[in-house]
Amino acid sequence: MTAAHSYDALMDITPRPPIVFVRGEGNWLWDGSGKRYLDFVQGWAVNCLGHSPPAIAEALARQSRTLLTPSPAFYNAPSLELAQALVNSSCFDHAFFTNSGAEAIEGAIKLARKYGALHRDGAYEIITFDGAFHGRTLAAMSASGKKAFEPLFEPKVPGFPKAKLNDLDSVKALINRKTVAVMLEPVQGEAGVWPATDKFLQALRELTRQYGLLLIVDEIQTGIGRTGKLFHYQHADIAPDVMTLGKGIGGGVPLGVLLATTSASCFEYGDQGGTFNGNPLMCAAGLAVLQQIDQPDFLQQVVDNGAFFVDELERLSARHGLGEVRGRGLLLALDLERPIGPSIVAEALRDGLLLNAPRPETLRFMPALNVTQYEIAQMISQLDAILAKLGAEVTH
């Protein structure tokens, strides 16, 4: 911080530590004083290849010298290539690029309502789930099932009745003539890493088919290799109708995607658009990310390192009398069984380690997908020491 800068010039929208990060490389971040931090947050599962990976830096540099944007009213090569690559690797047929996850969710909601207008006699309700997080636009907040959102920005956008995750009867009970879709995160990330079971995803697919409803998976956090498959829905061997991507697809730059099958892809001219949507610069970064991650060896390494990570967390939990380890691939949580998450996060920050506690009694881990076992072991040993210290403080 120099005298020329003040923290006050930014809107104060969240408590932030008085640290300014100036550089990142792989799993490491440096602040202005030269202090180094091991990063197991990675911008909330965003930097899937770590900080400033050469592949993205080169793609951005090359594309910025070639073409920044011709306007979304014209085709550009990177967006065509990225759309084709995503379609080839998934069960979807068409892509619409956005600038954030919430904007992709907004698009999914509009697409479902359009589908309802065209095919379901004006049905518009989208069943979502308690604990869900779908982003911070007004409709995305309304679709979310986050308690803290409930009193905010009333009146909400109507039409999002809430069911319970892994409880098919709670979904069935909400279906009526106005229902057009069911939308869920295959693993509820912000709620504290609560996975939908593969059986539940399969049952939802069957149920939505039976009633002619769209199944929308929000893979903004779980997609792009995070759970060990390119997309999480592939674990359950189902084919949803609509999917949203964000976070990892840009590898650190703002990029989201709305994907749909041919039968669900029903926007007409004038329904959807946006100035920066599908701009070549961000799509070039997305292509660089996908080329590295959509490889059997890369995804196998996520699975192997995830298993190693779970093992280490379970031993740590046993040593300190903590709770269960949840999640899949490299989206993991450790239940602390006590609201000590914020103290752990603060202590870790002092100790040069970035951790996240989405709930006071839960730690969530979302390292870069190319994190090494060595770095996982280093994080575990730092966390071990922090827990020992906090445990000692609690008992004495």
Ligand X SMILES: *Cc1c(COP(=O)(O)O)cnc(C)c1O
**Closest CB to ligand X among residues 133, 231:** 133
For 41, the token pair is 């947050």
Q: Which residue's CB comes closest to ligand X?
A: 101
**Closest CB to ligand X among residues 208, 221:** 221
State how far the Cα of 107 lies from the Cα of 98, in Å rounded to an integer. 9
**Closest CB to ligand X among residues 134, 205:** 134
**Closest CB to ligand X among residues 102, 213:** 102
For 258, the token pair is 């709305």
Q: Which three-class secondary structure string do you get for 318-367?
A: HHHCCCCEEEECCEEEEECCCCCHHHHHHHHHHCCEECEEEECCEEEECC
- To ligand X, the closest distance from the beta carbon of 42 in angstroms equals 13
CA–CA distances in Å: residue 230 to residues 32, 86, 98, 221, 381: 36, 10, 19, 12, 30
**Closest CB to ligand X among residues 123, 225:** 225
Which spans of this chain sit near ligand X (rule: CB under 6 A)?
Answer: 100-102, 105, 133-135, 185, 189, 218, 220-221, 246-247
**Closest CB to ligand X among residues 140, 340:** 140
For 161, the token pair is 């009745």
- To ligand X, the closest distance from the beta carbon of 147 in angstroms equals 16
- To ligand X, the closest distance from the beta carbon of 59 in angstroms equals 20
β-bridge mates for residue 257, sequence order: 97, 245
- To ligand X, the closest distance from the beta carbon of 239 in angstroms equals 20
Which DSSP state fits 228?
S
Within 8 A by CB and 6+ apart from 356, the residues are: 40, 41, 44, 345, 363, 364, 365, 366
Q: Which of 256, 244, 240, 243 is nearest to 289 (CA)?
A: 256
- To ligand X, the closest distance from the beta carbon of 218 in angstroms equals 5
- To ligand X, the closest distance from the beta carbon of 160 in angstroms equals 14
